[in-house]
Amino acid sequence: MQRKTLSMLVAAALAGVSMAAAAGPVTDEMILNDAKSTGDVLTFGMGTNGQRYSTLSKINTGNVKKLVPAWAFQFGGEKQRGQESQPVIHDGKIFVTASYSRMYAVDAKTGKELWQYDHRLPEGIMPCCDVVNRGAALYDNLVIFGTLDAQLVALDQNTGKVVWKEKIDEFSAGYSYTAAPLVVKGLVITGVSGGEFGIVGRLDARDAKTGKIVWTRPVVEGHMGYLNGKENGITGETNASWPGDTWKTGGSSTWLGATYDAKTNLVYVGTGNPAPWNSHTRPGDNLYSCSTVAINPDTGKIVWHYQNTPNDGWDYDGVNEFVTFDMKGADGKTVRAGGKADRNGFFFVNDAESGKLLNAFPFVDKVTWASKIDLESGRPVYDDANRPGNPGADKQGKTVFSAPSFLGGKNQQQIAYSPDTGLFYVPANEWGMDIWNEPISYKKGAAFLGAGFNIKPLFEDYIGALRAFDPKTGKKVWEVKNNAPLWGGAMTTKGGLVFYGTPEGHLKALDAKSGKELWSFQTGSGVVAPPVSWEQDGEQYIAVVSGWGGAVPLWGGDVAKRVNYLNQGGALWVFKLAN
């Protein structure tokens, strides 16, 4: 496999640079402080609460136009496809995953490869939406990531040697893993992918040093949880919101991972679509699908839940990240809240301690499945005519045109929150779909949809839009439109900037207050990953992975035809201010 490091522009100036961060093992204290520390990036989300906010301001609105490449590292080979990984950085090393369950360790000073790990994937893996991986977790002297055949692997940070490896579940039954793990109090917390195959969604917590299971919590009603090998209570109440045996293959995958807030001591996970897509086979709310679920990490028990799309009939996964922040209420009191830009097109603000709905508003221009979210009941007000029809025994049901499409007002691309502006920055997409239901029955390891679809753009001039919203009022403060759909995450900084990437290949910096574009760089392939920032030897750096792919070219229908000219790739780009 051929790989090479590109020395670009200021490579010579990087010689001898060392990380301005603590060396040695990664501790729980360091992880909890990740959002404030500047010399490293230890977690997915740049902090366990997922705000993706950097306290660094050396790169700012006044000088960002001087940002230039420091170096670029090429993943190499023919295994391109979608590159959705967020790098993590510690002790002079950048750890970054790539498509097909690969891991690289790169010298943060020079971009030189230190080691590579290629997970051996078996025949017959069944990833739903490209062969992506979104990143790793750091703990002790380990770097931990999941694989497409549903395994969790811990590698030595210095050598890349396997320290432990544990099976999450059976890939032959449709399980896989694509998210970045989360470490909380010495536990590595993981979800599962595979909602389109009738799997059962859950969170697992393992001892991060050994990989041994501590607790597991299913997020489909009727399934038993476990703590230290003993039964730990059924999730919900069997058949309370699922008819018959439908809960046994209920989906609700937890494929985008979780966040954690130390102030509430709760892990928050978004849950995916109920299975199958055909909602007429499973009348009821189908808990805890399409929800935000808050779990106590010490007990593995559900503390509260909020369901964003009860009885989902459009594949509006609720997996989107729940980002906690402080919000002043009308009474002047500060509430610990959480924001979530849901696939269904609504932005939800919940009390992070209780789950009570505080606000909900659309963040896309067209939503057809519901007219609003009722703030008193917390439930959507459905447009019943927009639900795909009930199929007969041998024919499809009535087709409807729904917006957003099942790829969502927002999908895997991550939002960011700035405590300086009080705004959320949301990479949104404007598209709809023709959708219809079909007869379906469950078969282990086979697709379990019961629906057909075709995704269509809503507007001629754009699909994607980066938007800034006030979570208290729901006001859209500004937007920047993009021709292709946005599929990479956002990051905001103390320097008054918002960084994000486009499928056309640009990494961009905007003024966080106005949305004015201040800087742009062409990476050579589509950016479908979130950027990060850190400091080393007194200088601030920005990094992002470039490599077009993900769900859009695979599932995008008419939208995919509009972006079929985009080139694949695989590279880690690092930037700094020119001297």
- Amino acid identity at 63: N
Are the C-beta atoms of 493 and 511 separated by less than 8 Å? no
Cα(448)–Cα(200) distance, rounded to whole angstroms?
A: 12
Which residue from 525, 536, 464 is spatially nearest to 84, judged by alpha carbons?
A: 525
CA distance 409 to 540: 32
315 is catalytic: yes
Q: Are strands 490-493 and 53-54 parallel, antiparallel or unpaired?
A: parallel
CB neighbour class for 92 (10 Å; exposed up to 12, middle 13-18, buried from 19)? middle
What span, in angstroms and rounded, lies between the C-alpha atoms of 325 and 48? 12
Strand 202-207, strand 213-218: pairing:
antiparallel
Q: Which two tokens stand for residue 217?
A: 């919590």
Answer positive or negative: Cα dihedral of 269, 377, 419, 503: positive
Omega cis (within 30) before 404: yes
Rounded to whole angstroms, the Cα distance separating 373 from 361 reads: 7
Contact 177, 195 (CB under 8 A): no
What does the longest C-alpha to C-alpha distance in the chain come to?
70
CA distance 382 to 408: 17
**Helix H or strand E encompassing 560:** helix 558-562
Task: State the DSSP string of 492-557.
Answer: EETTSEEEEE-TTSEEEEEETTT--EEEEEE-SS---S--EEEEETTEEEEEEEE---SSHHHH-T
- Measure the CA angle with vertex 469, ends 466 and 470; round to 5°: 165
Instruction: List the one residue out of 405, 533, 442 whose CA is nearest residue 247.
Output: 442
Record the tokens describing residue 242, joined without a space.
Answer: 């699922």
Q: Which of 285, 315, 317, 351 is catalytic?
A: 315
Instruction: Give the Cα separation of 353 and 438 in Å (integer).
Output: 40
Residue type for 258, please?
A: A
Helix (H) or strand (E) holding 558: helix 558-562
The residues carrying an active-site annotation are 315
